[in-house]
Amino acid sequence: MCLGIPGRIIEILDEENALAMVDISGVKRQVNLGCVMPDAAASTLIGRWTLVHVGFAMSLIDEDEAQKTLQILAELGELQEELAAMQASQTD
């Protein structure tokens, strides 16, 4: 929960509410972009990597950093844990 997980912004779902679809290691997850919204249109963020903490994009990062972070998270076992938590989230 404290270590963020990198994901790639693939689609803006709701600009007004800052919601986007983010691909996190192959898992698609709705993410809130409220902390990284640019002055320009949200669509300028499509394709960018971001560090996601509990469903919120907390910073924009470059691809190299994203890959490195994914690797260390995998080594720590946190990647598997976060992905599992994301998929197990009981939203219905």
For residue 10, give the nearest of 18, 20, 25, 19 by alpha carbon: 20
Interface with another protein includes 40 (CB under 8 A)?
Answer: no
Helix (H, G, I), strand (E, B) or coil at 9: strand
Helix (H, G, I), strand (E, B) or coil at 18: coil
Instruction: Return the residue of 12, 13, 37, 46 that touches another protein, per CB under 8 A.
Output: 37
Interface with another protein includes 41 (CB under 8 A)?
Answer: no
Give the interface with another protein as residue ranges (CB under 8 A). Answer: 1-4, 17, 30, 32, 34-37, 51, 53-56, 58-59, 61-62, 65, 68-69, 71-72, 75-78, 81-82, 85-86, 88-92
